[in-house]
Structures are given as C-alpha cells and as structure tokens.
Amino acid sequence: MGQPFTTHEVLNQPPPLEDVNLFASDSALKEAVLREGAGGAIDELSAFGGITGSAEAFERGRLANEHPPRLLTHDRQGRRRDTVTFHPAYHALMRTSCEQGLHSSVWSHLATDGGSRRPGAHVARASAFYMAAQMEAGHCCPITMTNAAVPVLLLQPELAEAWVPRILPFRYDPSFAPAADKAAVTFGMGMTEKQGGTDVRAATTRAEPAGAGGAGAEYIITGHKWFMSAPMSDAFLVLAQAPGGLTCFLMPRFLPDGSVNALRFQRLKDKLGNRSNASSEVEFHGAHAWAIGEEGRGVATIIEMVTHTRLDCAVASAGLMRLSLANAIHFAEHRTVFQRKLIDQPLMGQVLADLALDVEAATALSFRLARSFDRAKDARAAAWRRLMTPVTKYWACKIAPPMVAEAMECLGGSGYVEDAPLARLYREVPVNSIWEGSGNVMALDVLRVLQREPEAAAMVMEELALAAADEPRLRFAHERVEGLLQEPALLDLRGRALVESLALLAAGAILKAHAPAAVADAFIATRFAGTPRQTYGQGLERADTRAILERASPHHG
Ligand SMILES: Cc1cc2nc3c(=O)[nH]c(=O)nc-3n(C[C@H](O)[C@H](O)[C@H](O)COP(=O)(O)OP(=O)(O)OC[C@H]3O[C@@H](n4cnc5c(N)ncnc54)[C@H](O)[C@@H]3O)c2cc1C
C-alpha cells in the first residue's frame, strides 16, 4: 500500500492495460489467422500473445525507447570501434522475437533437405509479428530485414549455403564476433544514400572487383549510406555501382580471416520515434563484399527483400493501430465522465467504433496479403501478392498516424503524456509509410503492375468483382476502380486515388464475406457512402456500435 494523499483520493483513473493476451483478446486477429490458413499455429500464437502483452514486455518496450542506443566510434585509446551499445531491455526484446522465430520461421523448411514449407507459415509469422510490434516496434526492424534477406541470399547458392543456416536458428546472439563463432546472425540493408533513397540508381558508392568479378565474386566497396539501420547486424545487403552497373552485395561485419570489415559509422540518426532501433550513417572505406547476382542486376535482386519488408510494414501498422484502439477502449470502459462510462457516451462510442472499423480493415487486408505469400505458386495468389503488396502497404501505413492520433485523444490529456503508450505509438507509426517505399512510390509501383503485368491486375479485379457482386455499394466501388483503369493517360495523376480505392474495395469485400454483420455493414456504410469525411466518428448513427466495440474490447474473447 502506498502512502495516502493528504489532499485527495485518487479516483476514476483507469489502470494501465497490461497483462493482456494480445492474441486471445483480439477477435479480428484470431479470425484472420484461421481464415487465412494458419489454424495449426493457434496454440503457439496464444502463448506468444501472453508473453508480448505482459506488463514485463511492455516495460521492456518503454525502457528500450527511453534509453536509446549509443554509438561508440572509438575506444578509449582512440582506435576505431564502430559499435553500438543497447539497453538490456532491447536485447531482451530481440531475444523474445528471435526465440519465436520471427526472423526466420518462414524459411525453416530450408534446414532440411527437400523439407516442405509449413502450411500458413507466413500468416502464422505475420500474426506473431503483429504482436511483437505491439510489444515494441523498433526492434522489429532487424527482425524483418533478417527474414527478408533470405530470399535474396538464395539467389546466390554458395553465399546462401554459408549464411542461411546461420540465420535459421531461433536464437539471438548479440555478441560482436565473426558469424562463424555465433549462435545466430541478423541482417541489415543499405540502399539509401545522401543524394537519393527512392532513386537508388543514383547511388555513388563504388564496387571494384577484387579479382575477376561477377556473381558471387569479391569486391571492394567505397562510398557511404545515409540510412543503414541495425548497424550491429552481422551482415548487410548493400547496393553499389560495379563496372557493369548497380549491383547487390553481401557485406559482412567480419571478414573470413576474423578481422573487422571497413564499415565506419558516422553517427546515429536522432529520430522522431523508432528510438530503440539504431539507424546509422555509414561510410565504407574499402569494405569487402560479395556480389549477389550479376553486375547491373542490383534492383532486380534486392526487390524480393523489399517485397517481404513491405508486408511487415503493413502488418506492424495494423498491430500498432490495434494496440492504440485497445488502449482507447480500455480507458473508455474504465473512465467515468458526467456520471457515465466514457464508452457509453454516444459520441465517444461512435469515435471508438469508427476507429475499430479501420483496425478491422487493416488487419483483414494485411493477413489476406500474408496468405498470398504462403500460396505464391498459385497464379491468383501471386497476382494478389504483386498488386496488393503496394496497395496494402500504402493504405495500412497511411491511415495509421491519424488513427493513432484519434485513439490518443480518447485518453484526453493522459494520452499525450509518456506514461501511457499512446505518445510513443504516435511517434512510431509514420515511419512505416516512409521507409520501404514511401506513399507515392507505392502508388507508382501499382502503376508499374498495370503497365507491365496487366494480367495480374485483371485477376485481382476479377476476384474483387465476384466478391462485390451481392453488395451494390461494393459493385459501384468496383466500377469506379475499373473506370480509373480505363484512363491510363491520367493514372500518373490519379495513382493515390486508385490505390486508396483498391484498398477500400478489397477491405470491404473481405469484411463483407467474413466479418460480423455489424462490422461489415458499418464499414461499407461509412467508407462507401460518398459523403466526404475527414475525421472519425461520423456516419455511424445507424451502426451497431455496441456490437463493434464489444468485439474490439481487449477484455472480450
Ligand atoms: C528510421 C529510418 C530508418 C531507415 N533505415 C534504412 C535502412 O536500414 N536502409 C536503407 O537503405 N534505408 C533506410 N531508410 C531510408 C528510407 O528507406 C528512405 O528514407 C526512403 O526510401 C525515402 O528515400 P529518401 O529519404 O531519399 O527520399 P526521396 O527518395 O528523396 O523521396 C522524397 C519524397 O518524394 C517521393 N517521391 C520519390 N519519387 C517520386 C516520384 N517519382 N514521384 C512522386 N513522388 C516521389 C517519396 O515518396 C518521398 O515522399 C530509413 C529511413 C528511416 C526514416
């Protein structure tokens, strides 16, 4: 018992939302996991939900962000160190996620000769990643990059043979040591330079062949990267200009003889959010690296990595929105205003239910996308993956900042201070729409699909037409998207309209088919009504907000 206050009693202050199972308490998530093919993982996901939603895990998340990483450029004798130190909480978070296999579980079949993929592996991993992001989002950066590096490594068999088995163990080893001496390794990625991030072809970093050159050969790299996150990774996939053009390289921290490779970290970025994660500026002073693929094929080679990280951006955004919503509902369930619980105040009910609809939609879209990664051999799934990766990444990441801001406001002043997690979540969310292809870049990627792979777009539109057939407002939305597609000359200017319409149409179709009627009806009524709205809490007068909120409550289920 603490000391009682002499001036007042503490009343009407909701307890923190912690020790909540992030899986068991999330109906939309559980249903998505079952629907999209990962029913076999329910038990392990439920156990992970308990770990990630524990008070201890949330506290680690707080500590890892309050004590951000520090760069040690030199040791006390003035020799180069180029190492980054992290708070123990960060290492604990990494250990939790690596021991769950979030950095490699979808590739576990590679450990056994001819091993087959676990059904629903991407959906199961996405579900755990969605919860890990809620536990703490910054550490998910090296987790996602390591996972996404594997398909690129597989393109160069001798490098894959040396490195993939080191990625696969469900272990975390933070020691600064040669990869061969470690229990497990992680990967980072270096593409962005000062003069251009989106336009990676403008890279000035040079790669000179150490010998004959070519795929798999050793090169000497000189230049820089303006952003290179997770600098304590054991190796990086890096783009540099070889004599034959932009090429993808594997650059290890330690060379095969055990010496430290010539990466010189200049400073760490002082970021808006994502503070537990170190993002460096780095120079390569004749660093050694090995080519993955032929010279000049750099973008084509690294694109597979980016496709995987884009899925994770969408999944993490959905997860962060979910945690914001859960905190807002939890607060409103406990806080009394004018003799009524906040959640029972009609306007607040409208706002919260409206927020819940976007979380439902982002979750449905993200897990539908994850399923297309599991079934990529199927032509329809491959078409969905190609077109809907940029669409889902764009939409889920773009709606997250205003959604989290509104959720923060539901807690009033308590939402704006650092004691509740909302302030940190609010600073965190914008990064997902900036990195791994910013908003316009996603819209341009969709246009690229329309130009180069129109059959993929046609397959998705066909599937959406079928799903929309019984619902006039979805049918109309489908016709609208078809209309946009009929005017290719204007698409350059309407890229964002097209992407947003596609995202809403797909979300509406999935919710109509699978979500409870209260959710699907309210989503369609508000998102396809044609009435302009810029803020939450409008157009739900006829919606069953109680049913939507009961389902979304972290205390339901
Ligand atoms: C926290 C953090 C960590 C990061 N970590 C890494 C990392 O580990 N590795 C790495 O390589 N990079 C990393 N990045 C960099 C990130 O990927 C880039 O910032 C991003 O790709 C954008 O590149 P840029 O900053 O050069 O902006 P620019 O490319 O200059 O783009 C500026 C704006 O212009 C828009 N734009 C670009 N092209 C067009 C066009 N043709 N038409 C219309 N609009 C356009 C973009 O959408 C963007 O909004 C990180 C960034 C952040 C914030």
- 274 CA: nearest ligand 1 atom: 1
- 475-489 per-position pLDDT tens digit: 999 999 999 988 877
Mean pLDDT of the chain: 96
Torsions phi, psi for 420 (to 5 deg): -90, 160
Token pair for residue 167? 């990625």
pLDDT digits (tens, 9 = 90+) for 246-279: 999 999 999 999 999 999 999 999 999 999 999 9
| pLDDT over 70 at 317, yes or no | yes
CA torsion 546-549-555-557 (nearest 10°) is 90
Separation CA 499–CA 505 (nearest Å): 10
Q: Whose CA is nearest to atom 42 of ligand 1?
A: 440
Are the C-beta atoms of 356 and 407 separated by less than 8 Å?
no
- Strand-pairing partners, residue 251, are 236
Within 446-496, strands assigned E span none
Average pLDDT of the residues in 231-258: 98
Atom 33, ligand 1: residue with shortest CA distance = 438
Which pLDDT band, with edges at 50, 70 and 90, does 490 fall under?
confident
DSSP 3-65: PPPSS----S-PPP--S--TTTT-HHHHHHHHHTT-GGGHHHHHHHHHHHTSHHHHHHHHHHH
pLDDT (tens digit per residue) in 100-121: 999 999 999 999 877 788 999 9
Q: For ligand 1, atom 31, name the residue with the nearest CA.
A: 198
Least reliable range by pLDDT among 3-7, 368-372, 386-390: 3-7
Residue among 186, 170, 169, 266 at smallest CA distance from 227: 266
How many Å lie between the centroid of ligand 1 and the Cα of residue 195?
11
The first and second tokens of residue 223, run together, are 């230049």
* Residue nearest atom 13 in ligand 1 by C-alpha distance: 227
- Atom 29 (ligand 1): residue with closest C-alpha? 198
Spatial separation of the C-alpha atoms in residues 213 and 499, rounded to whole Å? 41
Out of 51-60, 184-193, 392-401, 483-492, pick the least confident: 483-492
Tell me the C-alpha distance between 445 and 451, whole Å: 10
For 534, the enclosing helix (H) or strand (E) is none
pLDDT on residue 303: 93
Q: What is the dihedral of CA 329, 332, 334, 338, to 10 degrees?
A: -170
Q: Which atom of ligand 1 is nearest to the CA of 191?
A: 11
**Whether the predicted pLDDT of 139 surpasses 70:** yes
Q: What's residue 113's pLDDT?
A: 74
Q: Which residues contact 149 (CB under 8 A, 6 or more apart)?
A: 167, 187, 189, 237, 305
The per-residue pLDDT for 1 is 53
117-135 tens-digit pLDDT: 899 999 999 999 999 999 9
Structural contact between residues 207 and 249, judged by C-beta atoms closer than 8 angstroms? yes
What pLDDT does 489 receive? 77
**Distance between CA 326 and CA 549 in Å, rounded?**
10
Q: DSSP code of 171?
A: -
Residue nearest to atom 25 of ligand 1 (CA): 197
Q: How far is the CA of 196 from the centre of ligand 1 (A)?
A: 8
As a whole number of angstroms, the distance between CA 57 and CA 7 comes to 34
Which atom of ligand 1 is nearest to 230's Cα? 8
The answer to whether 505 and 464 have CB atoms below 8 angstroms apart is yes
Residue 92 has pLDDT above 70, yes or no: yes
Q: Which two tokens stand for residue 496?
A: 């964002």
Q: Which atom of ligand 1 is nearest to the CA of 192?
A: 11
What's the pLDDT at 115? 78
Section 434-450 average pLDDT: 96
Amino acid at 107: W
From the alpha carbon of 196, which atom of ligand 1 is closest?
Answer: 26
Can you read off the two tokens belonging to residue 495? Answer: 């890229």
For residue 299, how far is its CA from the centre of ligand 1 (angstroms)? Answer: 15
Query: Which of 434, 445, 491, 494 to probe ligand 1 with, by most ligand atoms within 8 A of CB?
Result: 434
Q: Report the nearest-CA residue for atom 43 of ligand 1.
A: 440
Please report, for residues 278, 403, 526, the alpha-carbon distance to residue 522 in angstroms, rounded to integers and kept in the order given: 41, 17, 6
Continuous segment of H or E residues that includes residue 209: strand 206-209
Q: Cα–Cα distance between 267 and 289 in angstroms, integer?
A: 22
Ligand 1 neighbours (beta carbon < 6 A)? 188-192, 196-199, 227-229, 271, 274, 279, 431, 434-435, 438-441, 444
Q: What is the rounded CA–CA span in Å between residue 325 and residue 180?
A: 44
Mutate to test the pocket of ligand 1, among 139, 187, 198 (most ligand atoms within 8 A of CB): 198
Number of residues assigned to the chain: 557
**Sorting pLDDT into bands at 50, 70 and 90, what band is 557?**
low
The one-letter amino acid code at 223 reads G
The alpha carbon of 251 is separated from its chain's Cα centroid by a whole number of angstroms, namely 24
Predicted confidence at residue 12, as pLDDT, reads 97
Q: What's the burial of 79, exposed, middle or buried (CB within 10 Å: 0-12/13-18/19+)? A: exposed
Q: Which atom of ligand 1 is nearest to the CA of 279?
A: 3
Q: Ligand 1 atom closest to Cα of 438? A: 47
Whether the pLDDT of residue 411 is over 60: the answer is: yes
What is the helix (H) or strand (E) element at residue 243, kind and residue range? none
Query: Measuring from atom 35 of ligand 1, which residue has the nearest CA?
Result: 440
Nearest Cα neighbor of 355 from 383, 334, 327 is 327
- Of all residues in the chain, the percent with pLDDT exceeding 90 is 94
Tell me which amino acid residue 253 is.
R
Distance, CA 289 to ligand 1 centroid (Å)?
24
pLDDT band at 2 (very low <50, low <70, confident <90, very high): low
* Mean pLDDT computed over 447-459: 95
Q: Which of 225, 271, 441 to mutate to test the pocket of ligand 1 (most atoms within 8 A of CB)?
A: 441
Query: How far away, in angstroms, is 191 Cα from ligand 1 center?
Result: 10
